[in-house]
Structure 1
């Protein structure tokens, strides 16, 4: 089946955060939204058909997850990432960020040190601060247009009270698909210092050709027993509104501890349609995903070519993964609030403020290219017209 990613779907009036929520965040509702990390594409037919079929039975009572659900996850990880996992490693969370917070609550105590590597997905900061842990910033290094780990800085900042490290793998907002060599170097330090890693791998399926996602737990048995991985079909298949994510913890003792934390809040059941969607996605999603990745890469090339030609002062970080593109506007000399004000008022665009991603994000903007090409082209024209005035 040939999927149509050029289709423009009017999402307004659906309480959609990306479109209907702009007034709350940008104080304007007449902007072109390329901010929130969901896509403007139709949720795949095999997911919607599965949901419709279940909805025909008009009792939505308590349910459990069948063996076929777990097998779909196991099969997907093997097909997409060549990673062998077991049913007894798989748990649940009502969202990847919720999983990160539950992991922090489970595997550390207030006052413990938690490492974050900015610029990074900004809810990481909320997870650490909100659980009253001590945040240890280990900023990424920008080298040759790509981020790398600053391992010497990490070693200089950790101590015996450092218990956890939060990893964005693939990295958001930069789009790095961390290599095995990079991850081994990082995990060696964490193992030596008894620092557990909680890895956000929500973008793990959105990997562009020439790159590969390395699940953290696939590196070695020792690393597997020292980590927790939080994943979801939400970014891949555009089902974020179903609030259903999975957690993978290979170590039996750590798994039991996480399950106890989940049990206290009765958070493990999830919802019927989230379970249905996840199983359908991981059972039938390969062809749709291949077509999506091809479309997203063409969108990225459209953006890169346009900016190179019309906005040469802007530096584009080439993504190895994700549908998010990180753009450096620092050559224009604007402070963060000035840059945001300019893109809102003059370009009429809703983009993500780089400053929110922490150290190293000032002067940058994050652009979501998970939209029809015509929408992206309109956004680029608006940027061109606005910055031509400077």
Structure 2
């Protein structure tokens, strides 16, 4: 029995996007929401206590930068990733997606090209296109039951207008944790063509057994100076609504430019996010270890269930994140029909694969960060719909 994790089975009526917005988003009633990436698990108790202390203090004036939060982040990055970072390199922000948008605006011009590795987290498309930049797609290669980068194709895309590689690391949605040799190959290409790297590492802490996250900025000095790293405790500790995130920018010139751009649009320090960040990084490691044990058990349960009861549905084994990329191709259903079938017959809501790019045509993304009981109910409903369809 779990000693640290506290589950809430049904979050309806709590102003939860995941639970209260499902019908409006998907057009289906009474579905089990396994889509947007937050957890049906309370944040660690020390985080809740730290936020209570801030509330009880009762004054919510303009906050100063928190030296304690700086120290907690530095210790976390050093202990988990052997990455020694000066707190002067931190820029606190209100979320990784807006941070990436600001980075693209600050360091590129309209008409410049940004490379993404598809299928990929769908807001990546918006932060490029809605800022008037051009997307270059470097599709990942499916090799048996895993994904790899296509380095030759990556390099072939680059033109004089190509300015940025936007990296998902660990990769959302396919669950890869990029290895040292893979990152070194990316680093060589970026140095050769003088590309800025924006690395979204929000899932860095969410690793399966035997996996190790390596910040791409820690590969060598050149990468340290050309990389803007986006990190947050929000995905790790279920704090998305608190808007706690930060960028690590080693190059002082890039850091000053980004700070000036961000400060011209909003104040980036949040009194609650600072308290939550410090508490999570100082006191959340045991909770995180238990979380990932639970997520891994959930994955194994789902994998075995599909194998025994719905063998034509094949999950891609993740190395990290709590998101599962699932291949439905053997069902032989067009993607729109499959989407309707899942919503209205199986009564489950996933993130529909095509929103991550055309490579996701046969896929759905499933959130594993819920109770096993919730997963079991969802899988049972899927099996009933699967059997009824006669697959």
Find the counterpart in structure 1 of residue 112 from structure 2. Answer: 112
Task: Give the match's secondary structure for 1:59.
Answer: coil
Q: Deviations over 1:20-51 (max 9, x none)?
A: 00122111231001001000011111000000
Superposition map of 1:313-352 within 5 A? 313-352=312-351
Q: Deviations over 1:271-312 (max 9, x none)?
A: 211111011001111111011111110000000011111111
Find the counterpart in structure 2 of residue 300 from structure 1. Answer: 299
Task: Give the match's secondary structure for 2:260.
Answer: helix
Shift of 1:99: 1.0
Q: Is the aligned partner of 1:137 residue 2:137? A: yes
Task: Give the match's secondary structure for 2:315.
Answer: strand
CA contact (8 A) 1:9 1:42 kept: no
C-alpha separation between the residues in 1 aligned to 2:7 and 2:108?
Answer: 46
Q: Is the aligned partner of 1:364 residue 2:391? A: no
Superposition map of 1:33-182 within 5 A? 33-182=33-182
C-alpha separation between the residues in 2 aligned to 1:250 and 1:239?
Answer: 26
C-alpha separation between the residues in 1 aligned to 2:23 and 2:374?
Answer: 20
Unaligned 5+ segments in structure 1 are none
Superposition map of 1:245-260 within 5 A? 245-260=245-260
C-alpha separation between the residues in 1 aligned to 2:232 and 2:99?
Answer: 10
C-alpha separation between the residues in 1 aligned to 2:258 and 2:143?
Answer: 37
CA contact (8 A) 2:4 2:44 kept: no
Q: Which moved more, 1:32-41 or 1:1-10?
A: 1-10
CA contact (8 A) 1:115 1:164 kept: yes
C-alpha separation between the residues in 2 aligned to 1:358 and 1:368?
Answer: 18
Unaligned 5+ segments in structure 2 are none
Task: Give the match's secondary structure for 1:225.
Answer: helix
C-alpha separation between the residues in 2 aligned to 1:305 and 1:345?
Answer: 24
Q: Which moved more, 1:277-286 or 1:332-341?
A: 332-341
C-alpha separation between the residues in 2 aligned to 1:6 and 1:245?
Answer: 23
Count of aligned residue pairs for this structure pair: 389
